[in-house]
Structure formats: C-alpha cells, structure tokens
Amino acid sequence: MYELSAVIADFELLCGCAAEAGDVPVPVAALRDGLGLVPAEDVPLHGVSVPGTRPGGPRSGEPLTSVPPALEAVLSRWSRRGPVAYVEAEFFGGAGSQAAVVWRAGVRQWGPAYDDEFTGPRPHWPINHALALLGAVRADQPSGRDGAAPRYVDLFHRAGLGWERGSDAWRAAGRAVRASGHAAALAQREARFLAAADTERRRQVDELPAVLDGRTIMDVLGLPPGPAVGAAARYLKELAQEHGPLTRDEAVSALRAWRRRGTA
C-alpha cells in the first residue's frame, strides 16, 4: 500500500514558511532537485482542520476536485515565495490514483488534476506535471538497445517520492533533516534507498530461471567449472531482467561480448 498526501516545494521555502507558522517544529523531508516535502496533516493551519483528508493518507481514491479553504489559504500565501504543490496518491496492487494542484505568486497556477487511468503520456500525469512546474529536472535513461529512444523516468520517482510509503515515514525523514541538514540527510536517504533497491533487484535476479545451463556456458566460453561460470549465468539473468527474455543465440552472443570485455 502506498499513500501520499503532502505539500511539496523548494526545501528552504518550506523550512522558512513552516518555522514562521507556529512554535511546533514541522518536519520537512528532503527530495531531489532541492525540493522538500511536508505531510499535509502537518501543515500549520492554526487549529483549522482540513476536511476531506484522513490522517496518513489521501481521499480514499475520490477525485480531488477542490482544496479545503484553510489549506488553500496557507499554500497560496506560501507560494508568494515560490511555487508550491499539494499532491495526493494512493496505490495498491498496481491500481490507484493521483492528484495535484500548484500555486504560484499567491494564486492557483494549475489544477486540481486527478487521474486513475494513466492512459496519457507520463509527463502529463498529475504529480509529474506538478513536479515539472516546481522545477524538478527530468532525467531520461538510455534504453539499453542500439537505436532505441531513451526511456522516460517519471519525475515522481526521479524526485524521490517512492522512497517512503506513508506520512509517518516522511515525518521521520524530516526529523533526520533537522538533525543533519538537507544535503547530508538526502545523501543518507539516497544511500539507504539504493541499497534496498539493489538487494531487491538481486533477489529478483536470483529467482529468474537460468538462460543457459552451466555446461553450455562452459562450452561457449571454454571455462572449467568454477565461480566464473556462476558469474556468467548471473550476467545473463541480469540482461534478461533488464531487456526481457533472450534467445539462445542472443545469450551466446552476449556471453562472448562479455568475455571479450574481460569480465569473466
């Protein structure tokens, strides 16, 4: 289960606005591209509740058609210092929805926009579009196949919104920022995320079926039994994970290229 109900803006902007809004410290979590995140329920509203949201999550899949007046008043005021977005997302088992609104210079610039079908271009999905308006930098990745177009990377993931799965975790990340500063907290969070992602990727690779059996790998590469055969088998699994199933000829060709590079 993934739930997000948060305000996103420039990190320093959020820290300054939150500090001026009340005596209770508001945790601001660090995102990439100099952005920060505050769980929506932590936005100081001077005792005014935010109807339509529930603690720790968005509106249970209901379309975001309006923003509560108290929240709108606060965020429009904050946006006089720079663009500010309110975002919601909820996903479970591959299905879900997301929504976003952006304010700039004291007025609503865009939204609210809601999507639960995701049939349009990824850059137009609500949170991706909102992050682009905030200045998040798109980072395409190579496709891995000659002549193919680069693969678009969601700003959602590029900014780091996949690092945590709920408000409590974002709040803890914000407390880490107060203790160590934005740059250090971001570096630590990225390191933990990359380590967890690498562990999961390795687990997934281990569960893939072998592309070629050990005897075939030894025959193709002229190897005796040993660790190099296991390394070659794992290399083929990683290729299959990244690019899809390989034919026998593709696997043999990839192995020979791998050997020529001196990897074996």
Q: Point out the residues of the chain with pLDDT beneath 50.
A: 47-57, 144, 264
243 in the same domain as 112: no
- Give the residue carrying structure tokens 């005014």: 48
Q: Which two tokens stand for residue 138?
A: 């798109």
Backbone angles phi, psi at 167, to 5 degrees: -65, -40
Q: Which two tokens stand for residue 41?
A: 């329920």
**pLDDT for res 50:** 47
Domain end: 164, 187, 202, which one? Answer: 202
241 in the same domain as 174: no
Report pTM. Answer: 0.64
Number of structural domains (the chain) is 2
192 in the same domain as 118: yes
Domain end: 169, 185, 202, which one? Answer: 202
**pLDDT for res 54:** 39
Q: Is the Cα dihedral 233, 236, 242, 244 positive or negative?
A: negative
* Number of Cβ atoms within 10 Å of the Cβ of 2: 15
187 in the same domain as 216: no
Q: What is the C-alpha R_g of the chain?
A: 23
Cα gap 174→31, rounded to integer Å: 10
**pLDDT for res 210:** 74
Query: How much of the chain is in helix, strand and coil states, percent to nearest 5?
Result: 45, 20, 35
131 in the same domain as 65: yes
Q: Give a three-class secondary structure readout of 76-89.
A: HHHCCCCCEEEEEE
pLDDT digits (tens, 9 = 90+) for 31-74: 888 899 999 988 887 644 444 443 334 555 567 767 888 889 99
**pLDDT for res 198:** 66
Owning domain of residue 235: 209-260
Closest C-alpha among 38, 32, 39 to residue 185: 32
pLDDT digits (tens, 9 = 90+) for 23-34: 667 888 888 888
**pLDDT for res 45:** 79
155 in the same domain as 62: yes
**pLDDT for res 140:** 56
- Give the angle subtended at the CA of 74 by the CAs of 68 and 77, to the nearest 5°: 130
Cα gap 71→6, rounded to integer Å: 11
* HSE-CB of 72 using CA atoms within 13 angstroms: 13
Backbone angles phi, psi at 144, to 5 degrees: 90, -5
